[in-house]
Amino acid sequence: MLDTTLRRLEKKYGKYAVKGLMLYIVGTMLLLYMAQIVTVLMNIKGSILSFLNFDRSLILHGQVWRLITFIFIPPDVSPIFVAFELYFCWLFGTTLENRWGSFRFNVYYLIGTVGAIIGGLITGTASNSFLNMSLLIAFAMVCPDYRILLFFFIPIKMKWIALADAAFLILMLIFGSFGTRIMIVLSFANLLLFFGRDMYLYAADFFKRKKRRRKKPQKRAKNIDISKHIDK
């Protein structure tokens, strides 16, 4: 159903797809991070990023650019971790675009962005953290055996990182605030639309295999009892 719809849309609007979308997004994040460092070094009051983050009250007072600019805000961590985080955002996004094509990837990112915007309008604030995480999990779904170096020296497959992130998200859905739950569900609308069926089938298959494993010991136990009875 989704594939058919996307193919139809691509025929009509494919020419408008932005090629290399993540390069533009990551490049803007890097420029903003560097600009923020310069303002700190020059003791300039105020933060550039404070004019770009998502704030519902300010949006309703006319600062409508905040509906989009929040997706370009870089992570607030040390430079080396920013470099790695931006590199992985670029890697995940570019790989997905190469696999799916520019139009389909644009749609995936757009759905996640719109979901985050709607969540922000409901809760009052939004960030790009869940949106970027949706890229990671989508990448893991497409390339589950791709290895990265965790802490720079531990090789680990993407599927295990994605499972750890999924477990973290489930905990946040259970124990997080109402606003957090809203943001998770809406920011991951893209993932649910693109991979919801696959995730459901995988989970169903996992529980079926687990059920079979439980039944096998019981059958063996019955066979042992029957053999003893025959010997007697």
Q: What one-character DSSP code corresponds to residue 45? A: S
Res. 223 pLDDT band, cuts 50 70 90? low
Cβ neighbours, 10 Å, residue 127 = 18
2-207 carries CATH number 1.20.1540: yes
Rounded to whole angstroms, what are the CA distances from 203 to 19, 59, 89, 131? Answer: 34, 40, 27, 23
Given a cut of 80, is residue 225 above it in pLDDT? no
Give the helix ranges, DSSP H, for the chain: 2-13, 21-41, 56-60, 66-69, 79-100, 102-123, 129-142, 158-175, 178-187, 189-231
13-36 residues labelled b (16+ CB within 10 A) or e (exposed) = eeeebbeebbeebbeebbebbeeb
Dist. CA 230–CA 232, nearest whole Å: 5
pLDDT at 227 over 50: no
- Domain boundaries defined on the chain: 2-207
Q: What pLDDT is recorded for position 19?
A: 94
pLDDT value for 221: 52
SS3 state of residue 46: coil
Taking only the tens place, the pLDDT of each residue in 128-185 is 999 999 999 999 999 999 998 777 778 889 999 999 999 999 999 999 899 999 999 9
Q: What is the pTM of this model?
A: 0.83
What are the residues facing 212 on neighbouring strands? none
